[in-house]
Amino acid sequence: MSETSASATTPKVKTRLPFQRSCNEKNEKGKLCAGHLKRWYGYGEEIKRLHGENAEVYRCEHCHTIYLPAPGFNSRTGTLQF
């Protein structure tokens, strides 16, 4: 019935594609989220350990899905910002 589980507090984590700027998550209706990915600094120790202290982590401002840097992709070329 009213299954308000704690899963809402655990954001989904995806790998960000190079040059990806908008969220490609789909909601339960199959509609693309298309939220803006914003640089996010609130990540924890685990992400720092895996991706470095200055990991380029983004988060969708709409659905709060977290986007980690693509493995092997040099984020220096992705600093183009609007």
Residues of this chain that bind Zn ion (CB under 5 A): 23, 25, 33, 35, 60, 62-63
Q: What type of residue sits at position 72?
A: G
* Residue (47 or 58) nearer to Zn ion, CB: 58
* Residue (32 or 49) nearer to Zn ion, CB: 32
Burial status of residue 60 (CB atoms within 10 A of its CB: 0-12, 13-18, 19 or more) = buried
Smallest separation, CB 48 to Zn ion (Å): 23
57 neighbors 67 (Cβ within 8 angstroms)? yes
* Residue (37 or 47) nearer to Zn ion, CB: 37
